[in-house]
Amino acid sequence: MTNALPLPDFTHERVEVMTGRRSGLFIAVALHSSVLGSALGGARLWTYPSWTDALGDALRLSAAMTLKNAAAGLDAGGGKSVIGLPVGTVLDADRRRAAFLDLGDAVDSLGGLYRTAEDVGSTTDDMLVVSERTPHVVGLPDTVGGSGEPAGPTSLGVYASLVATLERVAGTGDVAGRRITIAGLGQVGSRLAERLATEGAALTVTDVNPAKRTLAAELGAAWVEPGEAHLIPADVFVPAGIGGVLTDEVIDALDARAVCGPANNPLAERSGAERLAQRGILYAPDFVVNAGGVIYLDLVAKERGTLEQIMGRVAGIGDTVRRVFDEAAARGVTPLAAAEGLAAERLAAGTATNALV
């Protein structure tokens, strides 16, 4: 059987692959880089056609976390973990608990080089289960003194990025009356939609879950089917669901002035950044835009500042986006290349520092 996506080049420090002894599920923990410090990246629970697809996702996502954490100015490397569910699998409570106990063992085997957290498909309660097997986990429920759900900080960073993006394409960051399409109404997309609706944006929304129509109606937003969202005229298209949605075909048909959203790896191919630029569509790189959650989790765990100071750091993502746009314009490159350059500078400095130790 042909994989849905080819495995990326292997540039990782270490990858642990196992079959959970309790759950029987495929588990991968991918440590991409610890140059800047102990890696931080969430644990994804998702359905995959095969174990190779799950492994490929872990490899791609962990590499993206290296860029995200470096560009965000964190003293943290990049990593990710994946629990892969075979097609048609539905977990009952006991097997779900078993899966996250297995994940805890896998994370602990890296000896602190990688810290996990909630991600797509997992929750803060799942992280509490992980903590029974390893201390290398962040984002525990606030009911037990943890930092809680990071979707709020992530949505704040996306909002700040969207404002910076609107400044470039519309001349002002005021969202009132701006046409914004949000594709994906999960934890982050829903929070963003609620804020934008309150501020008077002209919203179009979609989600693979038709039950989200209720939220659309509550917000006064137009609803469109998922496969048609990119065809709606918009000032900003916000990919907020799964990755890989911006294929060549979608980019060629995209009716938007800019793309700015929290979805990880929204470009199906890296060349999509050039394709967007050729069409005059401004692209705010995902790993800069969606870093609010990881900034929050890392700084709270390390007790670096008050909550107000940490949230101020999250809001500062907008300034990072502005810097990326300025650098891209000055160098005549895409914003993606500029953002990767920003991350590479920090990684190079970290490598040089570690070489002297």
Q: Which two tokens stand for residue 87?
A: 């097609």
**Residue 186 marked as a ligand binder:** yes
What backbone phi and psi angles, to 5 degrees, belong to 152?
-60, -55
Task: Flag whether 184 is marked binding.
Answer: yes
Alpha-carbon span 216 to 301, nearest angstrom: 35
Name which of 348, 342, 239 is nearest 288 in CA terms: 342
Residues annotated as catalytic are 80
Residue 185 annotated as binding site: yes
Residues 6+ positions from 41 with CB-CB distance below 8 Å = 61, 62, 65, 78, 79, 80, 81, 114, 116, 117, 119, 294
309 known member of a binding site: no
Dist. CA 296–CA 316, nearest whole Å: 12
Q: What is the 8-class DSSP label of residue 337?
A: H
Task: With beta carbons less than 8 A apart as the criterion, state whether 313 and 261 touch.
Answer: no
How many residues can be counted in the chain?
Answer: 357
β-bridge mates for residue 205, sequence order? 182, 223
Cβ partners under 8 Å of residue 304, min gap 6: 310
Contact 44, 28 (CB under 8 A): no
Are residues 131 and 117 in contact, defined by beta-carbon separation less than 8 angstroms?
Answer: no
Distance, in Å, from the CA atom of 325 to the CA atom of 315, rounded to the nearest integer, reads 17
Q: List the binding residues for NAD(+).
A: 184-189
Q: List the binding residues.
A: 184-189
